[in-house]
C-alpha cells in the first residue's frame, strides 16, 4: 500500500463513497493502519457543489468521476481496506494541496 493508492471502500457508505485514497506517508508503513480520504461520487449531493475546487478536486477512477473529501479523513486498519483499484500518484500534488487547504491557518 503506497501513498496515493486507491482502494475500494468496504464500509457501509460504499454506495456513495466507492473508493478511498491513502494519504499516509511511507514513513509509517510499519503501522497497521492507513490514513485515507474518501473519494465520493461526483453527483452525490453533499459534495457536488464543491467539486472541482482546490479543497475538492475531481478524479477519474475506473471510469467513475469522484471527488476528494478531506473533511472525512479517517484511519483504517490495513485489513479493512478493499482491493487496490488504481493510483493517483500523478495527481498527488492536488491531493496534498487539498489537505493543505484543510489544515491551513490562513482562515483563523
Contact 67, 40 (CB under 8 A): yes
- Cα gap 19→7, rounded to integer Å: 6
Listed range (33-37, 49-53, 65-69, 75-79) with the worst mean pLDDT: 49-53
- Cα gap 39→29, rounded to integer Å: 22
* 83 domain residue, yes or no: yes
- Cα gap 40→33, rounded to integer Å: 21
Tens digit of pLDDT for each residue in 60-87? Answer: 999 999 999 999 999 999 999 999 999 9
- Cα gap 44→104, rounded to integer Å: 26
Structural domains in the chain (count): 1
- Cα gap 41→63, rounded to integer Å: 11
pTM exceeding the 0.75 threshold for the entire prediction: yes
Domain extent at residue 55: 5-103
* 108 domain residue, yes or no: no
- CATH code for position 26: 2.30.30.110
pLDDT at 88 over 60: yes
* 22 domain residue, yes or no: yes
* 31 domain residue, yes or no: yes
* 65 domain residue, yes or no: yes
* 11 domain residue, yes or no: yes
The set of cell numbers assigned to 93 is 500534488
Q: How confident is the model at residue 3 (pLDDT cuts 50, 70, 90)?
A: very high
Amino acid at each position: 500500500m503506497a501513498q496515493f493508492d486507491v482502494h475500494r471502500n468496504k464500509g457501509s457508505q460504499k454506495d456513495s463513497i466507492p473508493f478511498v485514497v491513502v494519504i499516509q506517508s511511507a514513513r509509517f508503513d510499519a503501522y497497521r493502519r492507513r490514513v485515507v480520504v474518501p473519494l465520493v461520487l461526483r453527483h452525490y449531493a453533499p459534495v457536488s457543489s464543491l467539486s472541482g475546487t482546490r479543497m475538492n478536486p475531481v478524479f477519474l477512477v475506473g471510469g467513475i468521476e469522484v471527488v476528494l473529501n478531506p473533511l472525512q479523513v479517517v484511519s483504517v486498519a490495513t485489513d479493512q481496506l478493499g482491493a487496490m483499484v488504481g493510483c493517483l500518484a500523478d495527481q498527488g500534488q492536488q491531493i496534498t494541496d487539498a489537505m493543505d487547504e484543510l489544515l491551513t491557518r490562513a482562515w483563523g
